[in-house]
Structures are given as C-alpha cells and as structure tokens.
C-alpha cells in the first residue's frame, strides 16, 4: 500500500469533481474546490472518518470492495480505477498482454496506406513499424536501443523528440504522454517489468517527468490534433486517427489533413522529400 500516493490521488480526484458531476446540488458557496470528504464517503458508502484517514495517510488498508466503491464515487475512468487499486496495495485485473508481434490485421491495413503517413505503436509509445510517408513525416524511430525506443523517454530525456512538435503544444503533449504511460501500466498489471524499468529511468533522471508523474493523471489518449515541425516543409498540422487492436496494446496511427488544405499539400510532398533524419 502506497499511503502517500493513495492520499495524494484521492485528494486530487476529489478536488476535480463538482457537486453536479455526482448528482449533488451546488448549494452554498464553497471555500475549497471539488467535493467535500464527507460527500465522497457518502457516495462510497463508508464513514467520513475512515475516508478522511485515507487522505491523511492513516487507517487500515481498504479492501478491494472498498477501493471499487471509492473509484465509483470519484467517477474514475477504468485506467484511473486500476491505478487506485495499485496504490491501495491490490492487483488490478490485467486487461492486456503486450507483444512486439504486430497484429497481422493491422499490418494488412498499413500495407494499403500508400498515400497516408501511418505508424504502428504499442501502449508504451514504441514505434513497431512505419510506412514510407510515416518515416518521412516523423523520422524513423524503429529499432532504437534500450529505453530510447519509447517516445516518453525521448521526450523527457532528449531535445530532438520535442523539436518535432510546435512549441505551443509541448506542455499539453507532455502531460498526455505521462497520462498514457500511467494507463499502460495500470492495464498491464504489476508484473510489467518493461514499463517499470522505463518509469524508474525517467523518475531518476527527469525532474519534468517526476512533476507530471506526481499529478496521477491517467488516460489513454490516441486521437489528437497536432502540429509537427518538419525540417524541410515547416509546420504541418494533422489529425491523428486511430485503429486499435483487440488487446488495446497496439494502435495504427494515421495522419491526415483536410483535402485541398496547405497541410494536405505538404503531406503529399512527403513522398518527394523522402525519409528524414531529424537532428539529435
């Protein structure tokens, strides 16, 4: 049981909720953001004193049934629920099993995408395979050694990964990557040594990662609207669409732009420019 982590997560989740989010009237003006402790306790069917002790790093370990009740009261997503179970010292059910073997159905789709940049990634942000235009847009990142193969590691430990994206999007994308990494850890369960080693490396060597990791944000974010900075074509704004495997551990990412737009024209030029070697 991670008492400090549990207390911090409970407090942060509680402060994010509004009374109307859980069917309560807003009532009188509140001095603090979010729900009150006694309101969360009532929603979870537990005593206010017991819940308060959890937020104060005191009291006995909650049972799995109690953790599930708290997760419902705090309106946790499935990813956040699994994270809450781990903080409370329980194993969340393993929902996925990661494999480096690319799903054949995903590969068949990728093979047919001749005019659209696309890559296949796993839930830790490792690019498993890319088509020609995907490498031209993003630079090839397959076959990198050690933890460098994971995008979160490159983002926080190098400058070249962040340089691929418009500066105004850096903060949002950093938070999204950390939240997605938490989701991947929660889905795979406590025996996921690859994720554990990656997180340990980042926590030991990146203050920015440690700060975002402490927020306990948990979300699998794949679809997005983002702007890349290409070394030859400049800024290219794309929509990222996603096709998941059944296990949710791999995803085919497709990068498109509205037909006839300047961004679409730049995507077409990728075929002429060819694969780029981005500065490191």
pLDDT digits (tens, 9 = 90+) for 160-219: 999 999 999 999 999 999 999 998 887 766 677 888 899 999 999 999 999 999 999 988
Note whether 81 and 208 are same-domain residues. no
Helix (H) or strand (E) holding 198: helix 193-205
Average pLDDT, the chain: 87
Nearest partner of 273 among 114, 142, 139, 118, judged by Cα: 139
Residues 138 and 258 in one domain: yes
The position carrying tokens 């889905």 is: 187
Residues 22 and 128 in one domain: no
Among 38, 57, 87, residue at a domain's last position: 87
Of residues 269, 243, 240, the one with CA closest to residue 256: 240
Q: How far is the C-alpha of 274 from the C-alpha of 211, rounded, in Å?
A: 38
How many independent structural domains does the chain possess?
Answer: 2
What pLDDT, on a 0 to 100 scale, did the predictor assign at position 51?
92
DSSP states of 220-235 as a string?
A: ----EEEEEEETTTEE
Indicate if 183 and 141 belong to the same structural domain. Answer: yes
245 and 134 within one domain: yes
Instruction: Check whether 87 has a pLDDT greater than 80.
Output: yes
In a domain, 99, yes or no: no
Say if 43 falls within a structural domain: yes
127-130 and 224-230 as β-strands: parallel, antiparallel, unpaired?
unpaired
Residue 182, in any domain of the structure: yes
> pLDDT tens digits, residue range 207-252?
999 999 999 998 876 678 999 999 999 999 999 999 887 666 788 9
Same structural domain for residues 117 and 200?
yes
pLDDT over 70 percentage in the chain: 88
The whole-angstrom separation of Cα 68 and Cα 56 is 19
Same domain, 109 and 83: no
CATH number where 60 lies:
1.10.260.40
Same domain for 134 and 59: no
Helices 3-16 and 48-55 cross at an angle (nearest 10°) of: 110
Rounded Cα gap, residues 106 and 252, in angstroms: 7
Among 35, 60, 87, which residue terminates a domain? 87
CA distance 169 to 228: 10
Identify the domain containing residue 7 by its residue range. 3-87
Q: Is residue 111 part of a domain?
A: yes
**What's the predicted TM-score (pTM) here?**
0.68
How far apart CA 44 and CA 26 sit, in angstroms, is: 19
Decide: 205 and 198 in contact? Cβ < 8 Å.
Answer: no
Among residues 27, 57, 87, which one ends one of the domains? 87
Q: Is the domain of 131 the same as that of 255?
A: yes
């Amino acid at each position: 049981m991670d008492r400090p982590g549990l207390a911090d997560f409970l407090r942060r989740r509680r402060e994010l909720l509004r009374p109307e989010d859980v069917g309560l009237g807003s009532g009188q003006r509140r001095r603090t953001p979010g729900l009150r402790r006694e309101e969360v306790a009532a929603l979870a069917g537990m005593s206010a004193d017991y819940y308060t002790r959890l937020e104060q790093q005191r009291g006995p370990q909650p049972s799995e049934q109690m953790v599930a009740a708290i997760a419902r009261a705090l309106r946790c997503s499935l990813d956040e629920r699994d994270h809450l179970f781990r903080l409370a010292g329980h194993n969340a059910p393993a929902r996925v099993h990661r494999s480096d073997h690319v799903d054949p159905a995903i590969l068949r789709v990728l093979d047919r995408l001749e005019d659209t940049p696309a890559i296949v990634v796993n839930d830790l942000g490792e690019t498993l395979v890319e088509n020609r235009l995907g490498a031209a847009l993003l630079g090839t990142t397959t076959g990198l050694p050690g933890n460098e193969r994971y995008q979160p590691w490159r983002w926080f430990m190098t400058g070249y990964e962040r340089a691929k994206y418009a500066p105004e999007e850096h903060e949002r994308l950093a938070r999204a990557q950390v939240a997605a990494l938490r989701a991947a850890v929660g889905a795979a369960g406590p025996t996921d040594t690859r994720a554990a080693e990656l997180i340990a490396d980042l926590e030991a060597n990146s203050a920015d990662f440690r700060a975002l990791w402490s927020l306990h944000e948990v979300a699998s974010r794949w679809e997005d609207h983002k702007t890349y900075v290409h070394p030859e074509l400049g800024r290219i704004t794309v929509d990222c669409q996603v096709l998941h495997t059944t296990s949710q551990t791999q995803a085919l990412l497709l990068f498109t732009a509205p037909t006839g737009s300047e961004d679409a024209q730049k995507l077409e030029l990728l075929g002429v420019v060819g694969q780029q070697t981005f500065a490191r």
